[in-house]
Structure 1
Amino acid sequence: MNDRMDSLRQRWQALAPREQWLCLLVGLTLLSLLYVLLVADPLTRRIAEEDSQRRLAEARRLEATNTRLELQARLAADPNLPYQRAIEAADASREQILRRIDEQTSSLVSPSRMKVLLQDLLRRQPRLQMVGLQSFSTPLELPGAASVDADATSAAPGFYRHGLRLTLQGGYFDLLSYLQAVQDSGWRLHWDSLDYLIEDAGPDAARITLELHTLSRHAGWVGV
């Protein structure tokens, strides 16, 4: 791998400045296509759909519970059997949805593991230096969440987006090696953005901002 990268670097240095800029433009176009493919991951859509169904199931369960309590107060009697069954069915549906979400997110790297993984892989790229690292954690906005009753939304366990924003300095081929190592790690990550800026120091010391995240049903956050 190192011999191949050295050969590519030598071929790069042998190019004229104009040819280097043309190659960089082609490379940046390929990176943009890779970013689009990685961001358009169908897993996020499936998770959002499952979580939306879970919230609707929670809303139905709360509605059935409120109806049962109202009848209980009015009639001073035992809970109405049909409503009790509706509550039990809603609970079972909710648990089933949660299990399906856990199964579908099992291949995603955990928030606590993500930072360690990215730093370990970065140490294997000596020509790529980290100059900044920020973390963020926000609730995941789901389609149709605004139409769900507020009480149901607060009662349902949330789904969270935990991410890191890395600022790196290095060359184009060093960045490609790092991205390939992350992809080959066996863990799934969601890529949000990639900014590649060539400053006065030249293409071998470009400023790179990389933002990516994972998903979890637990609030928490990725410590820095």
Structure 2
Amino acid sequence: MKTASIKDLLQWYESRPLRERVMLLICLLVVLFFIWDTLVMNNLSVRRKDLQKQSQQLKNEITQLEARQQIAEGRKGYDPDRENRLKLEQLQQELKENRQQLESNIDSLISPQDMAELLKELLQKQAKLTLHKLENQPAEALSLGGATADADVDLGPVLYRHRLQLEFSGDYLATLEYLKKLEQLPRKLVWEDLEIKTQTYPRAYVRLSVYTLSMDRGWIGG
């Protein structure tokens, strides 16, 4: 029956004038195009937009992942304490060099252990001089680079000043000879204070304060 209906429809179509048949064909094509555009093309357009949106999202995600990867590669092997460690190593090297320089300079000074005995021996060689007093003073810390003698952290070398006070009397010329010999010692000491009081000529009373330096806290003479 369906086949007969189509055959009748075709016969009817063939029986129509040419102009009418052309118009009917155009109308049919328009209807088919409308159906295609509505059912197919619109769906394809929507799908294309969805695909474009998804593609852009994927591109954005890839860009973010690449940026994270670059950051991760840049931090590969990064040591956050490297700068501080290098500074510490530099400071330790400077402290070592300063200590060596100080030790070298201190070698030219009389040691605290030898100073008292040496002064006494030189004085005893001057028959016209009499020793009245030979007194050790407590060692005094001289901080360098912010360090102190009692600091828990070694911030730098620490020097100790060892003072000694000497009082004697006797012949004025013998006194000058004694002071001259002190100045000519191969290992030096530092003169801090010298007071000479002339008594009945040619006698004089002398008060002499000297000190030496060391990197050890200890009493003069031991």
Relative to the length of structure 1, the TM-score reads: 0.57
Alignment deviations for residues 169-220 of structure 1 (CA, whole Å, 9 cap, x no partner): 1121011110111122211110011111134xx1333221011010111111
Matched residue, 1:49: none
1:222 and 2:220 are equivalent in the alignment? yes
Matched residue, 2:194: 194
Identical aligned residues as a percent: 28
The alpha-carbon distance between structure 1 residues 150 and 210, as it changes in their structure 2 partners (threshold 3 A), is closer
Matched residue, 2:123: 122
**Bigger Rg, structure 1 or 2:** 2
* Aligned 8 A contact 1:158 1:219 in 2: no
User: Hey, what's the Cα distance between the residues in 2 that align with 1:90 and 1:206?
Assistant: 52
- Counterpart of 1:196, as a letter, is I
After TM superposition, give the deviation of residue 161 of structure 1 in Å: 0.6
User: Hey, what's the Cα distance between the residues in 2 that align with 1:223 and 1:107?
Assistant: 18
After TM superposition, give the deviation of residue 222 of structure 1 in Å: 0.9
CA RMSD of aligned residues (A): 2.7
The alpha-carbon distance between structure 1 residues 150 and 97, as it changes in their structure 2 partners (threshold 3 A), is closer
The alpha-carbon distance between structure 1 residues 155 and 169, as it changes in their structure 2 partners (threshold 3 A), is same
User: Hey, what's the Cα distance between the residues in 1 that align with 2:101 and 2:81?
Assistant: 31
For residues 68-217 of structure 1, what are the structure 2 equivalents within 5 Å?
A: 80-136=81-137, 137-140=139-142, 148=146, 154-156=152-154, 157-199=157-199, 202-217=200-215
Alignment deviations for residues 149-175 of structure 1 (CA, whole Å, 9 cap, x no partner): 889955334211102101101121011
After TM superposition, give the deviation of residue 140 of structure 1 in Å: 2.5
Matched residue, 2:9: none
Q: Structure 1: 5+ residue runs without aligned partners? A: 1-77
- Counterpart of 2:183, as a letter, is Q
The alpha-carbon distance between structure 1 residues 103 and 151, as it changes in their structure 2 partners (threshold 3 A), is closer
Q: Matched residue pairs, number?
A: 142
User: Hey, what's the Cα distance between the residues in 1 that align with 2:104 and 2:125?
Assistant: 32
More helix by share: 1
Q: Structure 2: 5+ residue runs without aligned partners? A: 1-78
Relative to the length of structure 2, the TM-score reads: 0.57
Higher relative contact order (CA 8 A, sep 6+): 1
